Amino acid sequence: MPHTPPDGDGSIRYLEYRDGSVGRVSGAVIEERPVCIFVNGRELATLLCTPSDLEDLAVGFAFTEGLIDGIDDIEVMSVSAGLTCVDLWLRDRVVEPPTRRIITSGCGGGVTFDDTATMLARHKRLGLGMTVAPSQVSRLMREVLRSAALYNTARGVHTSALSDGASVVLVAQDVGRHNTIDRLAGRALRTGLATEGAIVLTSGRISSEMLAKAAGMRAPVVISRTCPTSLAVELAQAWNVTLVGYARGTGFRVYAAPERIGPPTPQPGPRSLAGAAEWPVVSGSA
């Protein structure tokens, strides 16, 4: 299986206005290209994405859309020389790509094949299994943002990561926030990294399909630097996924399954917070 180049940024010349003056400078911009994914010879989807590490993106997309259960379901995978197509041939040649597509709410040409009822039926409720300290939420999000090399170079890109609770173990970046979750799933499958019980962190908004992708990886905690949508909150409650938003600085908000967030360290003063079950929402700096 060929490996696509890791770079996703390119340099262009542009005019920059600053402090009353103008100059022509060169700078990096994030690369965006349409990439077709074919399964068993039929087109599954065309994704607008950052054209790097396309194997991870294709495998992850096939997994989160329910076409494969694992990497062993893929017999042959190839990426075109121009980085415009990825062909997946499954061991089960009877599997056909779904024909009904739902355009998602995200940038980067997001697409999914599941309506809400199908999403709800596909994933089971997750057990408790872990507790995350409030300090972990803030520390891990800072670590994710520090790891966002492409964002720090070119901006205009989303970053997502997998954590084992102690540290960030996998980082993915793309122009499309949905693509970053697919990339995490694909890389984890291709490298044998277990995702069950992992924490998913992302810089982008958590929509329903983003939440569904994380639930498909059996990740019980999803943390975003910004807000979730109402449907994402409903799905998180149904699947018992701890959904954290606005994780900025030392504050955050818990929208679903707060039991996994441990109580904060008591501070001197007239107030104390007893336990996670009694504080479903924690407001922080936005």
Catalytic residue numbers? 107
Maximal C-alpha separation, the chain: 66
Record the tokens describing residue 182, joined without a space: 């697919």
Question: Rounded CA gap, 8 and 220, in Å?
Answer: 30
User: What residues pair up with 76 in beta bridges, in sequence order?
Assistant: 89
Question: Rounded CA gap, 200 and 164, in Å?
Answer: 9
Comparing C-alpha atoms, which of 194, 156, 196 is closest to residue 177? Answer: 156
For the chain, the first-to-last Cα distance in angstroms comes to 43
Q: Count the neighbouring beta carbons within 10 Å of the beta carbon of residue 95.
A: 15
Strand duo 221-224 + 242-248: pairing: parallel
User: What residues pair up with 87 in beta bridges, in sequence order?
Assistant: 38, 78
Question: Rounded CA gap, 162 and 126, in Å?
Answer: 17
Question: Rounded CA gap, 116 and 269, in Å?
Answer: 45
221, 197 Cβ separation under 8 angstroms = no
Record the tokens describing residue 189, joined without a space: 């499958």
Helix or strand holding residue 173 (H, E)? strand 168-174
Question: Rounded CA gap, 73 and 243, in Å?
Answer: 31
Q: List all residues 6 or more positions away from 160 whose beta carbon is below 8 Å from its beta carbon.
A: 144, 171, 172, 173, 177, 180, 181, 183, 184, 200, 201, 202, 203, 204
